[in-house]
Amino acid sequence: MGRMQPISWYVEENHLEFHLLSVGEGLMTLIIFPDNKVMLFDCNVTDENEDRILTYLDNVLPEKYNIETEVFEKPIDIFANSHRDEDHYRGLKKVHEKFPIKSIWDSGQSGATTTSTCYQYYMRLRRTLKEKDAKNLFVPTPSNISMGSFGGVNIYCLAAEGDFIKEYINEGLYRAEVRVQHTNSMVLLLEYKGRKLLMTGDSDWKSWKEKIVPNFDHGDFLKSEILIASHHGSRSFFTDEENDEIDDEANPDTTFIDSIKLISPSLTLISCGKYDTAHHPNKKALALYNEYTCNQQVFTTNNKGNLVGFIDQLGHYSVAPSRFMITSNTVSHIGFNIKCKQIRGGYESKVESGDAVSVDCNLKFSIETYGGMIEPVQDITVRWEVSNGGKFEHHEHQEIYHKGQEESDGLFSFSRELVYKGTHLLRCKVFNKKKGYSVTKIFSIEAI
């Protein structure tokens, strides 16, 4: 299927797979269910990212045989549009032309960018699919009963347009809702093997305070291991955007932070561009996400690029940057290998990639180069990065971090104490500026 992605180090089949694509100030989440049904939740393909995003989709989408056309294709079974703002359906035409969209899930809320060509195309596609078969257009109804199951993944709708009542003022008049499309944004929760992925679109504090929490705050229903944060990390998830600060004491009627407490995620993922572009994520909102996310495991696409994650059939889950892949732009006789040894109880032994190693040992990594990969050494950059996929009692440990500049191992080595059970990936990228050589290698450890 062409899925050359980091999760190949973790799982092979029967898993829920998701990709939070790095699309700047927009949202684009690809879901591949265990039965290979595909959902694209929102879309933001621009002139700047078009080649990169379409190539990425081509690499990860499963290929299927179309009986009607008698050709193989890579279809998108469902395009779920959380709401009709342009950064949530931009570039859909480019996607549909290469990866045919079979059906649409729509929030039912009219949009704020109705004059844009992207909006007009989306509405045209929506009508065309509906005319072909009425079942191709679906407006979910919020319910704590699953809308259905794809490959064993239960899908719940927590919010959509139809169940929200605008505030009544007097006869014939309602409060003006400038961002009503955010209040009525579609929110989907996916549950697989007891773990949950929560996709919040651009849902705001009002939606969570007046709709979602009152309707779904029973037991731990809202508790989700993986949260895709709302509105690029904007403060609108916690307070009215007219408020300068997220302050529930100063603005108690237009501020709501119980949502993040109830979700209590192990991982929070934020789709956003550079901070200077739109000041996302909002600093006060980011502080709240850090406070209520386990171990402050909050990652943005701006810093980490495309993020790839899964929930497998045993309930294990993790997320890693898509750059955790083996790559090389050199000929075969130029490159390097990662070497590893463990030190435990005073004894030293060699470790190969993929080996199972007991926790509470020390791991020492180094690189062995060949073919002049690091000549001249003054032009060499080495970047070490770790993605931890905790399991069992350590499942909430899902760190992603780089080797710090202050560490004393030297340019060509890296060391850590192995503490958490799970699958741990070490990424090493060596770049030779003078010769233009770039090689990335991955070393995998299974901690038991």
Contact assessment for residue 205 and residue 238, using Cβ atoms and an 8 Å cutoff = yes
Q: Which helix (H) or strand (E) holds 89?
A: strand 89-90
Sorting pLDDT into bands at 50, 70 and 90, what band is 4? Answer: low
Alpha-carbon gap, residue 293 to 145, rounded angstroms: 27
**In the CATH scheme, what architecture does the domain 6-321 have?**
4-Layer Sandwich (3.60)
> Hey, where are the domains in the chain?
6-321, 327-447
pLDDT score of 163? 44
% pLDDT > 90, the chain: 83
pLDDT at 408: 79
pLDDT in tens, 328-368: 999 999 999 999 999 998 899 999 999 999 999 999 999 99
Residue 230 has pLDDT above 90, yes or no: yes
- Kindly report which listed range (6-15, 197-206, 268-277) carries the lowest average pLDDT score: 6-15
**C-alpha triplet 151, 387, 280: angle, nearest 5°:** 85
Give pTM, 2 decimals: 0.93
Closest Cα to residue 424, out of 392, 402, 396, 391? 391
pLDDT at 182: 86
Average pLDDT over residues 50-65: 95
Domain 327-447 grouped into CATH 3.40.50.300 = no
User: According to the model, what pLDDT value does residue 3 have?
Assistant: 41
Tokens of 433: 């500026």
Task: Let me know if 253 is exposed, middle or buried by CB neighbors in 10 A (0-12, 13-18, 19+).
Answer: exposed
| Cα distances (Å, whole numbers) of residue 425 to 294, 302, 384 | 20, 21, 11
Is there a contact between 86 and 119 (Cβ–Cβ < 8 Å)? Answer: yes
Q: Residue 172: what pLDDT?
A: 45
Q: What share of the chain is helix, strand, coil (3-state, %, to 5)?
A: 25, 35, 40
* pLDDT confidence tier of residue 1, bands split at 50, 70 and 90: very low
User: In whole numbers, what is the pLDDT of the chain averaged over residues?
Assistant: 92
Name residue, tokens 């649409």. 104
Task: Give the DSSP per-residue string, 330-370.
Answer: S-TTSEEEEEEEEEETTEEEEE-TT-EE-SSEEEEEEEEEE
Per-residue model confidence as pLDDT tens digits over 372-396: 999 999 999 999 999 999 999 999 9
| The residue type at 371 | G
Residue 70: burial class (beta carbons within 10 Å; 0-12, 13-18, 19+): exposed
Answer positive or negative: Cα dihedral of 117, 120, 126, 129.
negative
How does pLDDT run across 175-217, given as a tens digit for each residue? 434 468 888 899 999 999 999 999 999 999 999 999 999 999 9
Phi and psi, residue 425, nearest 5°: -110, 135
The token pair at 366 is: 């180094």
For residue 446, give the amino acid letter: E
DSSP 134-171: GGGEE-----SS-SEEETTEEEEEEE-GGG--PPEEET
Q: Which of 380, 385, 365, 383 is nearest to 437 (CA)?
A: 380
The more confident residue out of 262 and 177 is 262
Could you give the percent of the chain with pLDDT greater than 70?
Answer: 95
DSSP 208: I
Does residue 166 have a pLDDT over 90?
A: no
Q: How many C-beta atoms lie closer than 10 Å to residue 331's C-beta?
A: 9
